[in-house]
Structure 1
């Protein structure tokens, strides 16, 4: 049954990264030991993705001893499988946030989002992470009314937030940059960008290890207890006792912490990578080396890789099992965007699990004075999860300004909690994907 499916083992080979273009072009391989026996630290972190690794690095740089426990390999989950887009702002637009939390906190959330991009750049520069960063994300609008609203929003950001990196594009300008008949306008965000996400995760992991963090891979956490101001985290072969614990599990939390699971729902997404297309053809399809994300509810997102392949993400499923043939599954939305690539050879196809919240904003929460969690980035996690590491570091060491801003969002539980969240997702996705297909 779906409720008993373990997403850590349901779709992937234990202890190995997904068979992706990212894994095939990874800058390094990791072989950290499994946890065996009892160890202690100031902080224990569960999860070796961006949130966990960035937290570990920031805490170690603050002088604390840190242990990271990863069920498979660092960067194994969404951090090493995503579209690589480093976007501006939060997952929700600023106008929505102004209505939700007021203009003051909306401004703080915008500034934190700008910090998140700056942190990605700082990590890459300081630790010499070779992750193919390139500037620019083109947000392409599939309906004229959305294009008009998007242009007005770019103006709102310029007037009220001083953000001038957006270039509004009409239909002809979009089609000059993007060889697709699907779009009616868009906005090119020159302050955003895209990366090789697995290499970014591996680079942060290398920096954390150099700072003294102890990383244990293939060490699935089976439970924890918090008694007398100390947390003890257990695995099949060992345990870690620490003064603080960070849950950084995102879509792979499972049943480890029901209070978080009720508010954070795992969903799957899928990516394919084509055969090499050559530099000239790649530039003709997407000019300027930018990434693209469109305005459909079931979003299509794509970009060219450094070896001139098209990396394309899209499609939705209503189960936690990956499709039997991911390349053919994603070929359908690929053909809707680029009909001229209908017969292109697909060399890689993989799935991954991210996590959403009811408000589509991340869940930052203190489960106890010495237990914190950050997850539910809702498809906006590359930069935001790297920022979460800094905010978690501040929260653990008693300087929790930014963490508090997110915690004030008061993310609700899904109706019915963890038990009902999946049936509700199916109903919502069915409705919104139908709207996409009907063009409404």
Structure 2
């Protein structure tokens, strides 16, 4: 399995983590977790804190998937605006979703509880690509303040220079509750906390099937069969390899990041040190690292074959936003798949004693930790908050095994074209 963290800034600056190996032969536990990203690690940790015995298996290494290579942007909420959630689901469900996905910052809580060193910074800016986008942002900010008492800063176009040194955007919303971090170091910190709570982590061990047994469930892996009362499938882009039916609910989008060499003018580029994401469908998103590099994500590919030169692929998007560093040295380029659902809401639920959470659609750096903890909560017998997310609507992509991805790609290309047409 090729490593999506090859030539990654995060891998180059990760805290020490020696590979964990599993066992050859059979094992038994209360909870078997498949996947060593934010969802799986937080679920394993929360289950262990509740007294369950837990084995976590990961085909690669901790943080191998999107959790270890994402843009590091901590954006409160879901891909739908809070006003859209209320319009679609009514005030009671909107209140419950808001409390979980905007107010309950479980990432910050875990970082504080376990002393995780992951370069946590406050502040996130949503930048308006068009005047129409800014008008919509301003209305949403007013709605959040009036309806929920959630305060953010409306930034007019003339004031954007206080946050980002580009004339490209037509205003934005600065959310002090958002922020950014080093995602791989957060994953490693969760893994250390999980082990301290008693979780057994097995890396380089692929789980390829789940079967029912007389006593419960069995997870079949490369080297061992794990008998468990409960299974948590937290494999996201790879979920179809373990449960093909769940694979119908997402398609992978390939996303790529670069990190420049340290910049002498870094603070001038992003004076407030906020993370920034713009409002285009195929968005640009960027932030400063702790050592003053610009970490920039831009463009998407719908083929799973990566570009020959990731830096060359992403550089034009960076140069459009920041022409003043168009020719700067790029030290790192990396990327991989992000699992996207039809409606961009996560697909979370359970089938008997099998729990799953996937399809965070590029908006999961905060909500994945929450999802893992809610699964543990439901497993322990209190499912009310889990059900708030599990009851979000979902449906599989059309087209079956062979046409699902091509049909989804056509739709995605149409929205990308709308970006270019304005």
* Alpha-carbon distance between aligned partners in 2 of 1:255 and 1:212, rounded to the nearest angstrom: 28
Indicate the residue corresponding to 2:343 in structure 1: 359
Correspondent of 2:107 among 110, 120, 145: 120
Partner secondary structure for residue 276 of structure 1: coil
* 1:34 aligned onto 2:22: yes
Indicate the residue corresponding to 1:97 in structure 2: 85
Asked whether the equivalents of residues 101 and 409 of structure 1 are also in contact (C-alpha less than 8 Å), the reply is no
Partner secondary structure for residue 406 of structure 1: helix
Indicate the residue corresponding to 1:285 in structure 2: 269
Indicate the residue corresponding to 2:150 in structure 1: 163
* Alpha-carbon distance between aligned partners in 2 of 1:229 and 1:358, rounded to the nearest angstrom: 36
The offset of 1:192, in angstroms, is 0.7
Give the structure-2-normalised TM-score: 0.97
Mean CA deviation greater in 121-130 or 219-228: 219-228
Correspondent of 2:249 among 249, 255, 263: 263
Partner secondary structure for residue 133 of structure 2: helix
Deviation digits for residues 357-398 of structure 1 (CA, Å, limit 9, x no counterpart): 11111111112x211101111111111000011100011111
Indicate the residue corresponding to 1:323 in structure 2: 307
* Alpha-carbon distance between aligned partners in 2 of 1:233 and 1:39, rounded to the nearest angstrom: 10
* Alpha-carbon distance between aligned partners in 2 of 1:416 and 1:123, rounded to the nearest angstrom: 40
Indicate the residue corresponding to 1:64 in structure 2: 52
RMSD: 1.3
The offset of 1:416, in angstroms, is 2.4
Asked whether the equivalents of residues 30 and 74 of structure 1 are also in contact (C-alpha less than 8 Å), the reply is no
Partner secondary structure for residue 36 of structure 2: coil
| 1:183-194 matched pairs, under 5 angstroms | 183-194=169-180
Correspondent of 1:387 among 343, 361, 370: 370
Partner secondary structure for residue 300 of structure 2: coil
Asked whether the equivalents of residues 18 and 76 of structure 1 are also in contact (C-alpha less than 8 Å), the reply is no
* 1:337 aligned onto 2:321: yes
Partner secondary structure for residue 296 of structure 2: strand
Deviation digits for residues 179-204 of structure 1 (CA, Å, limit 9, x no counterpart): 11210110100111111000000000
Mean CA deviation greater in 90-99 or 325-334: 90-99
* Alpha-carbon distance between aligned partners in 1 of 2:271 and 2:378, rounded to the nearest angstrom: 42
Deviation digits for residues 92-132 of structure 1 (CA, Å, limit 9, x no counterpart): 11121112222211111111013542x11111111010001
Q: Unpaired segments of 5 or more residues in structure 1?
A: 1-8
Asked whether the equivalents of residues 399 and 407 of structure 2 are also in contact (C-alpha less than 8 Å), the reply is no
Correspondent of 1:412 among 379, 384, 395: 395
The offset of 1:17, in angstroms, is 4.1
* 1:241 aligned onto 2:227: yes
Q: Unpaired segments of 5 or more residues in structure 2?
A: none
Asked whether the equivalents of residues 52 and 389 of structure 1 are also in contact (C-alpha less than 8 Å), the reply is yes
* Alpha-carbon distance between aligned partners in 1 of 2:104 and 2:399, rounded to the nearest angstrom: 33
Give the structure-1-normalised TM-score: 0.93
Partner secondary structure for residue 424 of structure 1: helix
| 1:213-252 matched pairs, under 5 angstroms | 213-252=199-238
The offset of 1:420, in angstroms, is 2.8
The offset of 1:227, in angstroms, is 2.8
Asked whether the equivalents of residues 263 and 418 of structure 1 are also in contact (C-alpha less than 8 Å), the reply is no
Mean CA deviation greater in 74-83 or 29-38: 29-38
Asked whether the equivalents of residues 50 and 385 of structure 1 are also in contact (C-alpha less than 8 Å), the reply is yes
Indicate the residue corresponding to 2:42 in structure 1: 54
* Alpha-carbon distance between aligned partners in 2 of 1:294 and 1:190, rounded to the nearest angstrom: 16
* Alpha-carbon distance between aligned partners in 1 of 2:408 and 2:118, rounded to the nearest angstrom: 34
